Structure 1
């Protein structure tokens, strides 16, 4: 031990004393803890085993400190292991404080250089986010063991220069997948999902996150779920790492692993220094693998990943001036074939070292992951001071940009510049007239906002507060006005909120308020579109229906920064009338109030007409709550806790009153889980709607009207809408005998032959069906007289328009609503909706009992994202109310509840639920 220490000190004298060697013999090995080696064929460790093992390592090693960062959706503790040299761990608060000061960009350059010289690079390394991608969670466990036992000179240097945050980011999923894989006592019969040969037996019965499955990596700017909230708190409010490494699986076919650099386009909002540092880090990782004789790493064109979208764990980092790393690696505890792909045997810039076809083992993938971890940590160590200074520099750049006139240039600005240059002479130096730069690209009317003001007097202020909390969860600084103030020539009331762009996280601010302007991205002129990594338009302020003003000049006033999440400001129960209370239907949280009242046995009505109280316009469909002592207590609590104002009246409204009752909701799902169904479960719970999850076998059994008032058919439960591109499906369903008996009733499919007649009978008896997205294909089952106009007939078959004619891969568009219809009560006439290759409708003009509720009224409905051929939407119908017998079929083509974000459109779903239990509100017969 002493000899080894002496050798290490000769090699790296500056680091040996700071990071003394660990006594590896005193630390429990994975095999001692688990009975298996990590990466061993036919074995997966669970999160229960991970947390027990990490607690042992925490107790045994002076390099490790175990931290609980919060609870998961299922209530498990979510752990992060902090690893560094023992000396660094003793000064951990100091290094965290340095990281925070530099990331916020608020110190002087001289102070930043001093802090960068003193600080330690902070690197986040995770695993397990997508639990069916089993390799990252297993590699994470071994990485922590190696981190506390490796004693080579390079590692001792890394420990001295860095603070490493190792985190399991989906504990619930790891337990589910490990238990599912290990349930078979015969190891050779165990199958896992991340394989080139999908096996239905690997399909877990439910999603590998309690609510949202794979979409747990789409929630990071919204922070709706517990885990993303925990992670964002560590990344952007506590530790501020300069590098965020998010491990995933599986790699592109014919290669081993994809890693950055990524393909274009990158998002125009973040600092360009991110892109250069990202390329540096990616190059270091590729070089390490090649040097170690680990072939098969690919980049850029090797896969579809880009850096445009904000919502995933690594991409949100770019909007916070941190390097976000994604790797996608192959691997399976059941040995798998690595297939031969001809083009991947020819070396090229994006695949410098091809890999031979072979039988691949999980242990090989873990070896790659450990090498990639170390290469990134070596990069962080060697560039420690520069990384720390550069995160300050990017933050300072953003503060400066938000403090003066600035412009964000997009591809459409360049198109305008080229149009302006047409017909003008070419300057002697080439190019186009430089005067056009100022005229087009520096148009004063198009400059970036200096601030965004969210007024307190908007129609649904509690929802605006939820939006602000999403910003705060991601580290954005929000300020509250303590008194009235003026900005941009307009006066705002006290209690309004201000988000200044002169802050380090300005890219995140812009991305949440401004429309995403995604370029027209085609393989070649006139060719097919290049499919984006994820959605192209998602502006959260639009999706949530928040009223805000862009202020182009500097703003100051009686503002106080908000230090933590905001509670909705208490509302008033005003008036002295004793008959009851009026509550506006415009507030989403009014549905929570209604659900609490009906659950308590209190009566609630909708007013069929316009209402006002104390000079406030309450809109159509306001809630009328007759006075009782119990109702009074519930109304007062909602006003105080939810911010829902109520107006006491001396008499009941004279307009027709429609009593609403607690709807008995059936929510469709399928074996393996539908993510939209899971999001809908989460949403119903947030707004306190009771529901029952039903599977195809229950629907096929019929007699639905006896148990339910309304059936919700969310996106992706196996119904195909006419002319809609088939969504990607999983490996299929297992045989009943291959799964435990308790899950067999979940098997089956919604079919026109068996399920269709039962849904028809339910509707004819007076039930309601809310169908969203591709599930609107139920209209075809029921022979409702609507068609999809965005189709063409090819060889006698109806097909969606090709992407060369129409393409909206995930964007925010505006729909015109008939707010006189009960389904749209409380909504804005022009409402943002999320459109992702969604169905739209044309109603047969001769059909009776079918009404358009939402239509696309212009040739340019796009609000945010990418919409090629958007003019084809003009005159089409987005939302339909169709009578089928006594019941209503509500067809909602756009995803009105997409990923828990589209608060502006939630009322379509919620109104549909209540109308299912209130047939008198909108009678079909």
Structure 2
């Protein structure tokens, strides 16, 4: 899971001499891998051009799919289910494996799993009866990250073994467990396998030079989309896990393993997220220990846990971690291996056995089939645990859900690091209270028990629920937020009439999300700010990097207005049965002259693009105006009346949820006529993930655009083809003197080693060639938009702005030490000047996603601050050291360069397509830059 396409090569395997002097024997039960069997199941060796797991061979998805269909015909232990379409239109298959008797009653067992997981209206006695009757449900996936080839090739053999073996353990597992074997990324497997197999000489095969992302838009970030569910594969998976099958164990398989070892297996390192039920963690430790023990008992050395890898259980965005917020055990393994043999080197630090590395491994040559054997026993361990603990797993998921419902029905408190800090502050610096018989070492850190009330202040109670009022300025985004919750199994209600709670009246159509539900941890995590613990390498040392990010509260990112309700409440509420359609907008008044549309809804950009596609003129009203009986803030969209406009406007109101207001006369205020922008989105060979997310966004909002590679930039004359160039985070290389976070780079292939169609994609942005071409483009009237680390380019081409976050080292500016400033992916609040075109339609303040980003200060004329930090405590969700350094620095600048514009956006305003509240910075820039150049 670490890194991107080149991750497979970043870690070597492990080595040891003490406990395993003989090479590990792969395919130990060879008779189960190939040849005939009594059940008539075709072995992998007989179904593929070459046996999956063999050196220098990768089966692709077409072959995998065909084998699944063959197994489905041959075995009464399997049912094949299509769970949906992928981004590229393939069928995403899931094999359900169990005993024939269980498969005949799948609907009954699925209903039992649902009732126990949701826990609503179910007594403990009823739950015990259902648990005794039900079957454990286990999800074991493959292929999420397509260059991690062990998982897909091993799943083929795992399925074959479970369908063909008749040993007592297999039969017991089939009887006790319903096993879900989905493929997470069919498109990626097809791409990677075909790329690897393209060369006839096996010794020349590799997939490190794959030309594009292995998920159409987001590549490796397909494992960061879980709570958003925007990619189709993620939505398909979440529907199965949290709305249809409710597995008690979710096993998400990855590679590559930690250096000096074969495989990482849970338990994980701290911190774990304080929102979920602790029974999740204790059960996870049980299952992880069972997996380690199974490997050791099978003489499979080289497994490690906790400290050998950076994986924690904080972030909600991953397949295995979202499980914790749904009361399920989420497992992650990271294993070495691949079709090209490698060598496990000798790393001295891995030689000494310890708790986190119980059985070291000797240096040896390693083959894909070796990893497949490990995968088999890891799968086997999970299934054996589920079988032996079937009834307990079913009852425990009920217990967690029921406990969550009870917490949501009464006063409860979630203790966060800030609460603990406040308790320590209340205790003061005095000596601990003396208590007779307490050893001094046990008194360290003690405070008076009477101070426990500091942790249960009434105002700090967890909410009983959240009310999202109807009539917000961007209801389509509100619906997108609610649908993200619903896709993850959260129960949402809608008011059928007006109601009053805590003295405030809410209109019909408002939405309610109560915390008295089984998935309460997920609800809290999406509405409440994350308070990540201060985590340091050692006291006084540098911060320990979190696994992924620390602050991501979805309601904040999407700009959704809601009220936290601390007391129990009810009203005329109806359960929302499924995904919510965008509510239709309305057209009011007679459009004698045309229509005014507020700029506040993101969908207004779809309207603008559709109007321009139809050849209808569109303008922005540059000042606030009063018209049609209402006040319009700066940026109102003006559409003159015409036959073409009438058709688009009617459709927009129905489909996009936009309100339009007809007026008899055109606005008297200044207007800016918008041109249809020619947009170039910069990408590079291998694919840049933030550019991929941006591509997806541009498609969703119907912006026409082209992908631009460095070779085209270097040719110059860019103004002949483009009006706007977008440089997403990570598209501009860094250097050792840069004050901007350096993007992860991968070596590019020799042009002669790749097909000719991909050679124009090669190249990098360079200071000698590319920078002058882009500077000329801007000076001639072009617009350059730089996001995140790409702002280094803005400085290089001459923007009158400089980085603000640095320290002086003699005459040299250096990036701040992590002990002084560290914000590793958090939400920080900034002020917005929404009278400026770049911020039209935005509120006065906004939460920005800040991931060790840069902030700015002006160094000359022609730089207008658009969004800046006006407080020393901007952190809203996550973790921040030295946040006071942001005060009075600028997050977003509108700068002039010659006849053109440079829009500098330090934070990642489109990060993973989650912060809907900051999309307008980009979308406004796409229209405003070219329009201002026309003026």
TM-score between the two structures when normalised by the length of structure 2: 0.94
Quick one: distance in 2 between partners of 1:186 and 1:767? 47
Superposed CA deviations along residues 534-570 of structure 1, whole A, max 9, x for unmatched, are: 1100000000011111011112111111111101111
SS at match of 1:374: helix
> What is aligned with 1:3?
none
Matches within 5 A, 1:692-711: 692-711=706-725
Q: Does 1:222 align with 2:236?
A: no
Quick one: distance in 2 between partners of 1:717 and 1:834? 18
> What is aligned with 2:309?
303
SS at match of 2:173: helix
Quick one: distance in 2 between partners of 1:316 and 1:116? 23
SS at match of 1:477: coil
Q: Does 1:904 align with 2:917?
A: yes
> What is aligned with 2:847?
832
The unaligned stretches of length 5 or more in structure 2 are 1-35, 436-442
Contact 2:591 2:641 in 1 (8 A): no
Quick one: distance in 2 between partners of 1:24 and 1:749? 57
> What is aligned with 1:736?
751
Q: Does 1:393 align with 2:408?
A: no
Q: Does 1:294 align with 2:315?
A: no
> What is aligned with 2:61?
47
Superposed CA deviations along residues 709-750 of structure 1, whole A, max 9, x for unmatched, are: 100010111333874464452431000001000000000000
Contact 1:591 1:687 in 2 (8 A): yes
Superposed CA deviations along residues 441-500 of structure 1, whole A, max 9, x for unmatched, are: 000001101111111121111111100000000000010001011122211111010000
> What is aligned with 2:800?
785
SS at match of 1:838: coil
Q: Does 1:181 align with 2:196?
A: yes
Quick one: distance in 2 between partners of 1:918 and 1:690? 16
Instruction: Tell me how far 1:92 sits from its aligned partner.
Output: 0.4
Superposed CA deviations along residues 659-701 of structure 1, whole A, max 9, x for unmatched, are: 1122110000000000000000000000000000000000011
Quick one: distance in 2 between partners of 1:754 and 1:46? 40
Instruction: Tell me how far 1:635 sits from its aligned partner.
Output: 1.1
Instruction: Tell me how far 1:631 sits from its aligned partner.
Output: 1.0
Contact 2:292 2:303 in 1 (8 A): yes
> What is aligned with 1:766?
781
Match of 1:557 among 567, 571, 578: 571
Contact 2:740 2:854 in 1 (8 A): no
Contact 2:799 2:902 in 1 (8 A): no
Matches within 5 A, 1:844-923: 844=859, 847-919=860-932
> What is aligned with 2:205?
190
> What is aligned with 2:275?
269
Contact 1:658 1:920 in 2 (8 A): no
Contact 2:269 2:312 in 1 (8 A): yes
Q: How many residues align?
A: 889
> What is aligned with 1:259?
265
Match of 2:857 among 807, 818, 842: 842
SS at match of 1:26: coil
> What is aligned with 2:91?
77
Q: Pick closer, same or farther for the CA change 1:511–1:395 going to 2, 3 Å.
A: same
Quick one: distance in 2 between partners of 1:738 and 1:366? 30
Instruction: Tell me how far 1:783 sits from its aligned partner.
Output: 3.1
SS at match of 1:458: coil
The unaligned stretches of length 5 or more in structure 1 are 1-21, 193-201
> What is aligned with 2:254?
248
Quick one: distance in 2 between partners of 1:305 and 1:425? 37
> What is aligned with 1:211?
217
Contact 1:768 1:915 in 2 (8 A): no
Match of 1:402 among 383, 393, 408: 408
Quick one: distance in 2 between partners of 1:688 and 1:317? 34
Instruction: Tell me how far 1:427 sits from its aligned partner.
Output: 3.4
Larger deviation, residues 740-749 vs 790-799: 790-799
Q: Pick closer, same or farther for the CA change 1:796–1:145 going to 2, 3 Å.
A: farther
Q: Does 1:61 align with 2:75?
A: yes
Contact 2:254 2:333 in 1 (8 A): yes
> What is aligned with 2:824?
809
Instruction: Tell me how far 1:595 sits from its aligned partner.
Output: 0.5
Quick one: distance in 1 between partners of 2:305 and 2:811? 41
Quick one: distance in 2 between partners of 1:878 and 1:811? 14
Quick one: distance in 1 between partners of 2:502 and 2:361? 60
Contact 1:251 1:257 in 2 (8 A): yes
Contact 2:778 2:900 in 1 (8 A): yes
SS at match of 2:813: strand
Larger deviation, residues 702-711 vs 724-733: 724-733
Q: Does 1:776 align with 2:798?
A: no
Contact 2:732 2:793 in 1 (8 A): no
> What is aligned with 1:753?
768
Matches within 5 A, 1:456-467: 456-467=470-481
> What is aligned with 2:562?
548
SS at match of 2:230: coil
TM-score between the two structures when normalised by the length of structure 1: 0.95
Quick one: distance in 1 between partners of 2:199 and 2:770? 33
> What is aligned with 1:819?
834
Match of 1:319 among 325, 328, 333: 325
